[in-house]
Structure 1
Amino acid sequence: MSIKKIHPKVSLIDLHDLQQEERTGAYILHEEAITIIETSASPSIPYLKAGLKDLNISLEEIHYIIVTHIHLDHAGGVGLLLQECPNAKVIVHPKGAKHLINPTKLAAGAKAIYGDRFETLFDPIIPVSEDKVIIKHHKDTLTIGNDCTLTFYDTPGHSKHHFSIYHPASNGIFAGDTAGIHYPAGKDHPAFFLPSTSPNQFDPKETLASLELFEEMQLSRIYFGHYGMSENVPFALTEVKKWLNIFVETSRGHFSTQLDFKENTEKIKASLEEKVNIVLKQRGFSENHPIHTIIDVDLMVSSMGLVDYLIKEQGANKI
C-alpha cells in the first residue's frame, strides 16, 4: 500500500488505476469533516479502503467525496464506495451530476475506448442516489474545518463537467486533469508533464484559459489526478501549455478527412510519440523506463480526443 503525507493536512493514496502504480491517486483531507478527492474506478476502491484503514479513518467518518469530473478513472468507483460511507455526500460539477445518478452514458463512452478491457478496468459502476449529490458552481465554497474552506473553480478544457478545488492551507489546487498529467520520474529524472486531451469534450482554448487561471492564482502546489503533487508550479504549467500547442498543431498537420477515426488516431499518436520520446531521451530517460508504458496509454487516449476535436472543428463526417 502506497500512502504519502504530502502536507500536514493532506495524504495521497495510490489507487493502482489500470493496474499500474502511481497512475491515479485519491487525496484525503484531514479536517473535522474528513474529505476524499477522487476515487478512480471501482477496482481501485479496495486500495482506497485499505489506505483509509492505514490512516485510521473509518468509512463512517467520511463526510464528503469530491470528484473533479465524472470520467470513470476519477469518479467511476464513487457509487461503490458510497455504499459503505453512510454519512458521506458526493460533490460534483453541475454538468456531471446527472451522469453520477445515471451512469449509462459514462459506461458506453468507456466501452468505446477500452473495448474488451472495460469490465476488468471499470466494473461495477453503481449509480449515486440523487439525495447524496451536492452540486458546486464556480467560486462556491465548502467549509470542512475551522480553518479550512475549499473554493471550487469551473475549469473546462479537459471536459465541460470539470471543476478544480482550491485548498487554502497549502495554497494548492486539486486540478484533476485540467493541468494535464504529472509523471513522477523518481530521483534520477525531472518530473515530466503532458496535457490530457481525451475525448469527447476536449477544447484547447478552454484548456488554455483554465491554465491561465491557475497562473493568475500564483499557486504553491498542484495536486494532479494523475499523479501526485508538484511544487514546481510555473514549470509544470509552462510545460503543459507548450505540449498542448504541440499536440494540437501536430494533430492538425496529420488529420485527414480521407482516413477513418482509427487511422487518424494511430497516425497522430505515432507522431506525438516520436516527439515525446525525443524529449524523454534528452532528459535522460532510458528506452525501458516505466514512464513509457504509462505515456503509451495516455497518448492513445489523447490522440482519440484530438481526432474527435478536429472532426467537430472541421465539420468532417466521423467514419
Structure 2
Amino acid sequence: MPFQTIEDLHHQITRIDTGMMRDELAACYLIRGADQYAVIDTGTNRTVPIILKLLEDRGIDRSQMRYVIPTHVHLDHAGGVGGLMQALPEATLLIHPRGARHMIDPSRLKAGVLAVYGEKTFAEVYEDIIPVPEERVRTLDDGAEILLGDRRLLFLDTPGHARHHFCIYDAASNGIFTGDTFGLCYPPLVTENGPFILPTTTPVQFDPEPLKQSIHRLLALEPERMYLTHYGLVENPQPLGERLLTMVDDFVALAERVEAQTEPEQLESALISAMKDFLFRKLREHGCLLEDDRLMALLGMDIRLNCQGLQVWLAQRQTA
C-alpha cells in the first residue's frame, strides 16, 4: 500500500505522519467526539503546519479543537505542543503531572537535546520548542476521565518508558493511544507473520519492571487495537503484547550479559553490536526479507537509543 501522510482509520480517528526524519517513523492522531476535536501527540514543531492544513482542508474551525494531549514530553511526541497551542487559542493542554513543568518552561528539554545533537541538528529536526502558558495546562492523574464531546477518554499512568508517560483508553474504538509504552512497530517490517514489535528503552528513565506492569495493565483492558506513535494502528494486540513483554526481558538479559563481558569504555559499542545481531536474527525468524542495509536504515537510530537507555539503566541499577 502506498504511503499516505494522512489516513482515516475508523471511529473518527485520523492518523497523521509527523514528517520527522522519514516517512512512517512517528505519527500523531486527530480524534473527533461530536463537534469537538483533540490531537494526541504532536510530533515536532515542524509538524504543526501539517496538522493545521488538515484542519483547514476538512473545514474544522480551530475553535473546535478542545485538547492537545501529548502522551509524554519526549520531543518526537511533544515538541510541537507549544506551537500548536499558539495556533489553537481555545485548546487546553492535557499532560501527565510530571511533564507539565517541561511544557510550561521547556528550557531544560531544549538544553538536553542541544547538548546531544547540537544546534544545527536541533534546528533541522525540531525547529524550536515553544512554552505553553501555565493557565492553559491541565494535569491529569491516573484514572482521570474527560469528555471530548460525546467521547470518553480514560487516562492511565504508564511508567517504564518514562515516569511522565500516560496512555489514553478510548472506549469508542476500544483502543489505546500508547505513545511509547507499547513499543515500536514499523510498517515495512510487517511480514506474513504479522507486525514485528520491539520495546523502546530510550534514555533516561527506562525501567523494565514498571514497563512490564504498564503493558500488562493495557492488555488487561482487553483492547481490540492500539494506536502507536511509532507507528500507526495495530490490531489484535494481545499476542503482540506477550511478545513485547518477552523482549523487554530479552533486552535486559542482553544488557547484563554484555556488561559482564565488556570493558566500561567499550560498553556502548558492544551493546549496539549485540542489539543489532539480536534484532536482525529475530526479524529473520519473523520472515523479514529486507536487506541488512535497509534494516539499519529503519532501526539504526532506535538501536542506538535503546542501547543508550539500557546503559543508563545499568548504571542506575548499580548505584541503587
Q: Structure 1 residues 43-52 or 99-108, which shifts more?
A: 43-52
TM-aligned CA distance change 1:240 to 1:12, over 3 Å: same
Q: Which residue of 2 aligns with 1:225?
A: 229
The two structures, once aligned, show a CA RMSD in angstroms of 1.9
Aligned ranges 1:234-249 → 2 under 5 Å: 234-249=238-253
TM-aligned CA distance change 1:291 to 1:142, over 3 Å: farther
Query: What is the SS of the residue equivalent to 1:150?
Result: strand
Task: For residues 74-118 of structure 1, give each alpha carbon's deviation from its aligned partner in whole angstroms, at most 9, with x where no partner exists.
Answer: 001110111111111110000000010111121122234434522
Q: 1:8: Cα distance to partner? A: 2.7
Aligned ranges 1:56-205 → 2 under 5 Å: 56-115=59-118, 116-146=120-150, 148-185=151-188, 189=192, 190-205=194-209
1:166 is aligned with what amino acid? Y
Q: Which residue of 1 aligns with 2:291?
A: 287
Query: What is the SS of the residue equivalent to 1:90?
Result: strand
Aligned ranges 1:260-271 → 2 under 5 Å: 260=265, 263-271=266-274
Show structure 2 runs of 5+ residues with no match.
none
TM-aligned CA distance change 1:55 to 1:237, over 3 Å: farther
Of 20, 24, 27 in structure 1, the residue corresponding to residue 26 of structure 2 is 24
Q: Structure 1 residues 282-291 or 249-258, which shifts more?
A: 282-291
Query: What is the SS of the residue equivalent to 2:93?
Result: strand
Task: For residues 40-78 of structure 1, give each alpha carbon's deviation from its aligned partner in whole angstroms, at most 9, with x where no partner exists.
Answer: 111222222233333332333211000100011100111
Residues in 2 aligned to 1:81 and 1:291: alpha-carbon distance in whole angstroms: 33
Query: What is the SS of the residue equivalent to 1:40?
Result: coil
TM-aligned CA distance change 1:218 to 1:157, over 3 Å: same
1:28 is aligned with what amino acid? L
Cα contact 1:185–1:291 (8 A) shared by 2: no
Q: 1:4: Cα distance to partner? A: 1.1
Residues in 1 aligned to 2:115 and 2:82: alpha-carbon distance in whole angstroms: 21
Residues in 2 aligned to 1:26 and 1:124: alpha-carbon distance in whole angstroms: 18
Q: Which residue of 2 aligns with 1:38?
A: 41
Cα contact 1:185–1:192 (8 A) shared by 2: no
Q: 1:289: Cα distance to partner? A: 7.3
Residues in 2 aligned to 1:289 and 1:57: alpha-carbon distance in whole angstroms: 42
Residues in 1 aligned to 2:191 and 2:308: alpha-carbon distance in whole angstroms: 32
Q: 1:232: Cα distance to partner? A: 2.1
| Alignment partner of 1:211 is 2:230 | no
Of 288, 304, 315 in structure 2, the residue corresponding to residue 311 of structure 1 is 315
Q: Structure 1 residues 29-38 or 291-300, which shifts more?
A: 291-300
TM-aligned CA distance change 1:235 to 1:114, over 3 Å: farther
Cα contact 2:32–2:148 (8 A) shared by 1: no
| Alignment partner of 1:252 is 2:262 | no
Show structure 1 runs of 5+ residues with no match.
none
Cα contact 1:34–1:62 (8 A) shared by 2: yes
Residues in 1 aligned to 2:271 and 2:102: alpha-carbon distance in whole angstroms: 30
Cα contact 1:26–1:48 (8 A) shared by 2: no
Cα contact 1:69–1:176 (8 A) shared by 2: yes
Residues in 1 aligned to 2:130 and 2:228: alpha-carbon distance in whole angstroms: 25
The count of residues paired between Structure 1 and Structure 2 equals: 312
Q: 1:291: Cα distance to partner? A: 4.8
Q: 1:269: Cα distance to partner? A: 1.3
Q: 1:235: Cα distance to partner? A: 2.1
1:308 is aligned with what amino acid? V
1:287 is aligned with what amino acid? E
Q: 1:135: Cα distance to partner? A: 0.5
Residues in 1 aligned to 2:44 and 2:214: alpha-carbon distance in whole angstroms: 25
Cα contact 1:24–1:225 (8 A) shared by 2: yes
Query: What is the SS of the residue equivalent to 2:307?
Result: helix
2:32 is aligned with what amino acid? H
